[in-house]
Structure 1
Amino acid sequence: MKDLNDLQLKVLNLLKEDARRTPALLSTLLGESEDKIKNVVAQLEQEHVIVKYATVVNWSKIDDEKVTALIEVQITPERGRGFEGIAERIYLYPQVKSVYLMSGAYDLLVEVEGGNLREVANFVSEKLSPIDSVLSTKTNFILKKYKQDGIIFEDHQEDNRLMISP
């Protein structure tokens, strides 16, 4: 694991909030030269600390709505590799968006995206469940997203709570 300096952490946090921030804007916000910010970002990209710049899409606003499922997977770890080999086998499928090793009632949480319910169901029954180490799966379909990656999808009203003062 890499230790980051204060400037690197500040740049990462600002880009995480909004990846469209330019080096010029970051330099203004942080009081550093634009060249220094460009070098920091380039170094973070080269070291794969910054892996990707992504767009959060509210699919419910367009006709091409995707179906997303969170699949709880119980597995038997492989001797010598633990969960790594099975996780790799699963995350290489193009339908799989994320895979997490979890504590609790199941071992892996797999996020899958498909064009419809049948696509996701077929993935679970034809690709995921037949893996030898998979003991069980539990598929949960996302019905509605309210917030993702810090972005609120709904038009929300102002916070009308009263301020409490000492």
Structure 2
Amino acid sequence: MMKLTDREIEILEILEKDALLSSDSIAKMIGLNKDETEEIIKKLQDEKIIVHYTTLIDWAKVDNYQGVTAMIDVKVTPKRGVGFREVAERIYRFQEVSSVYLMSGAYDLSVTVEGKSMNEIAQFVSEKLSTLDSVVSTTTHFQLKKYKHDGSVYDSDQNDNRIVVSP
């Protein structure tokens, strides 16, 4: 863990909302010069605080794209001395897995898997995931439609049907 300055946190918050902003734009937003801003960003990348830059794509708008996403709840038996970490590492090494989270509640891990078809994901669950020694049970949920992801609303051009409340 690393203690960051308010400026560093401010840069992270800006980049989290829009990673395409230039360092010049970010510098103007927070009152630093471009070189200072670039130096802070490089430090945050070197320290692995900025892990990766991603692009959100609305694949539902692409006709010839076929892909399926599933969220799988996994109940596991943790191993003495390493807890859930060892089984989580084994799971996230599979090419099909895009994320793994330790969760509270009825299941221990939440695993997000991407594939070309529901059958491909079912095959992954039955042949790879369920066969791991520590895995006790799984529940698979297929994603049908994405409304909002990482703070970005999909299909935001539609009318907002919520009732306006004003004092």
Please say whether Structure 1 and Structure 2 have the same fold, judged by a TM-score greater than 0.5.
Answer: yes
Give the residue type in structure 2 aligned to 1:147: K
- How far did 1:158 drift? 4.3
CA distance in 1, matches of 2:162, 2:83: 50
Give the residue type in structure 2 aligned to 1:100: Y
- How far did 1:15 drift? 0.5
CA distance in 2, matches of 1:141, 1:29: 40
Matched, 1:134 2:121: no
Structure 1: runs of 5 or more not aligned: none
Superposed counterparts of 1:46-85, under 5 Å: 46-62=46-62, 63-85=64-86
TM-score by length of 2: 0.95
Provide the residue aligned with 1:108 in structure 2: 109
Superposed counterparts of 1:1-166, under 5 Å: 1-62=1-62, 63-154=64-155, 155-158=157-160, 161-165=163-167
- How far did 1:34 drift? 0.4
Deviations 1:99-145 (A, max 9, x none): 00000000000000001111100100000000111000000000000
- In structure 2, relative to structure 1, the CA distance for the partners of 1:75 and 1:160 (3 Å cut) is closer
Q: Paired residues, what number?
A: 165
Which shows bigger deviation, 147-156 or 44-53?
147-156
CA distance in 1, matches of 2:103, 2:152: 24
Give the residue type in structure 1 aligned to 2:89: E
Deviations 1:44-67 (A, max 9, x none): 000000011100011101121310
- In structure 2, relative to structure 1, the CA distance for the partners of 1:3 and 1:112 (3 Å cut) is same
Structure 2: runs of 5 or more not aligned: none
4+ runs of 1 displaced by more than 6 Å? none
SS at match of 2:53: coil
- How far did 1:80 drift? 1.2
